[in-house]
Each structure stands twice: as structure tokens, then as C-alpha cells.
Amino acid sequence: MTAGNIKGALLALLSMGLYSTHDVIIKLLGATYPALQILFFSALLSFPPLAVLLLRDPTHGTLRPRNPFWVGLRSLCIVASGVGGFYAFSVLPLAQVYSILFAAPLIVTVLSVPLLGERVGLHRWLAVCAGLCGVLIVLRPGVTPLGLGHLAALMGATATALSAIAVRRLGRSERTVILLLWPMIGNFLLTGASLGFAYRPMELGDLALTGVIAALGLAAGFLLILAYQAGEAANVAPMQYSQMLWAVAYGWFLFGERPDGPTVLGAGLIMGSGLYILLRERLGASRLRPATRARFGSDAVTAPRWSLLQRLLRPRG
């Protein structure tokens, strides 16, 4: 492995550690405050630094999308992904949440056939089936009760996958400012409206923690940009699965969570199938490659896609 690939992998590992810390703070605050309230303030406090970056958008035009359906669908999916992820982290063990969210690349592969016209070969279909079996092993329907947290995590994984599909359909036809701003507007409208139904006054320290969530999401995104600039995607992308190690460590020491055998087995199947799909897409000519190398599980307004941040940080020509 070259020095660049080693550097890229290490930067990606650090990025995933920050993302996991981001999720741990969500879980800590979720024990006291509604998930939508946490999401609202985290997104609100992430807006000032993002607004500075948005001013760097070199393209000209209005804020009206050229492809309103796909932009609207992507914005709705990002909001749904954030809501589902924030709620799931608040009520479920970390390892369970990650196991379910890691199914997003599998869902992307399935949806790519009707929505992108992608041709999926036998090997990738077998990987998808193995991964979905892993999801069933983690959930254990009929053996353990399934709650809203499990449904929220499944919603987050599905919404993240649909968002990735929408990005593929949009390509570079939309301005970066539109792809970042419209999900923020949708999030503020939805989560802001929810404050009228379930709001709990936040202590100053807890409010500051929502700012830490925003800062960690942005910092992790910037590190991921550096990782992909330093190393090849095939060496950087698999580092997203290191979050399971962070989840086990954080869950063990902070929350007294001990992953049981079925969770470990199911997570192993899901991660193994995801890695296999990444490998097959590296070798083939799949249009999904830019989608599957992003960090699945948090394409939320508090942690926007690294590829969009990269567009804004490129030097102006």
C-alpha cells in the first residue's frame, strides 16, 4: 500500500471516529430531549459555517432547482434520514443502529435497477441477499419485539439510499448551493414545527452539545475530503465500517451495551456484503461507485455529503 493510501485510510478512520462521536452525543442528549428538537438545534448551529461555504459557490443562477422532483425527493430523504437516525440513536444500542444503517448500500443496489437502469450481476445479488439476511438476524422479527427505533433506523437506511440514487440522477446539473440549502429549509420547517408539540427547555451545556454535534459533522466531512484526496477510493471507502468498532467501544464503556451473538453475526454479514459490493463496483463500470463510497447512515443536514463540501472548497478558477 502506498503512503498516500495509508494516509487516506488513516484520515478516513479519524473521520469515522468523529462521526461516531457525533452519534454518541445524539444518544446522550436523546435520553433527555426529543430527537427532533436535537436535530433542529444541531442543524441550526451548523448553518453559519455552511452559509460561509455556500458563498463560495462559483456557479451563478437562482435558487430554483432545474430538476424539482429529484431535488425535492433528495431533500425529503435527507430530512427523513436525519430524523430516523437521530431517533434510532436515541433509543437503540449503537451497534444495532449501525448494523441497520449499513444496509443502505444494499438498498442502493436494489433500487438502482428500476431507478437507474443499472445491471446487477449474480455476485452482487448474492451479496445483497446475504446482507439483507444479516438485517433480519439483527432485527430477529418474531423473536424480539420491534419498536419505533428499529423502524426509524430502517427508514434512515432507506432514505439514505434514495438520496444517493437522487444524487446519481442529478449528477452535476444542480448548483451545490441548491443541494445543500433545500434540505436545510425542509429540515427547519419540519423540526421547527415539531417544537410546538414536544419541546423541553435545554440547559446551556446541552445546547452547546448540539453545537458540538454540528461541528463534529462538518469536521468529519472535511477529513473525508482529505482522505479521498490522499488515497484511492477503494482503500478509503471500506473505512466507514470501522464505525462498528467505535459503536462497540462507546456502547460498552458509556452505556453498558453488550452486543449479543445475533447482532455480531448479522452485522458481520451486512458489512461483508457491503465490502463485496464496493469491490465489485471497483472492478466493474457501475454508475453507483460515487454513491457507495460516501459515509452511509448520516447524509443529514448536520453532516452534509463530503462530495458537496469538496465542490465548495475547490479553488475558484
| Residue 53 clears pLDDT 80, i.e. is over it | no
8 A C-beta contact, residue 89 and residue 178: no
Residue 184 contacts residue 301 (beta carbons within 8 Å): yes
Tens digits of per-residue pLDDT, 106-151? 888 888 888 888 888 888 889 889 998 999 898 888 777 888 999 9
Q: Which residue has the higher pLDDT, 237 or 300?
A: 237
pLDDT at 61 over 50: yes
DSSP-derived 3-state class of residue 284: coil
Least confident of 63-67, 83-87, 180-184, 234-238: 234-238
d(CA 235, CA 241): 12
pTM: 0.86
Q: Is the dihedral of CA 88, 80, 78, 32 positive or negative?
A: negative
The yes-or-no verdict on residue 1 having pLDDT over 80 is no
DSSP label at residue 201? P
Q: What pLDDT is attached to residue 281?
A: 66
CA separation, residue 36 to residues 48, 97, 205, 226 (Å): 20, 17, 18, 31
pLDDT tens digits along 260-293: 888 899 999 988 888 888 776 666 545 555 444 4
Digit-coded pLDDT (tens) for 206-233 = 999 999 998 998 888 888 888 888 877 7
Q: Strands, DSSP E only, in 27-134?
A: none
Confidence of residue 235 (pLDDT cuts 50, 70, 90): confident
Residue scoring higher pLDDT (255 or 180): 255
DSSP for residue 103? T
Q: Collect all residues with Cβ–Cβ distance below 8 Å to 237 and sequence separation of at least 6.
A: 12, 278, 292, 293
Average pLDDT for the chain: 84
pLDDT of the residue at 291: 45
Q: Which set of grid coordinates corresponds to residue 234?
A: 477503494
Is the pLDDT at 46 greater than 90? The verdict is no
pLDDT at residue 64 tops 90:
no
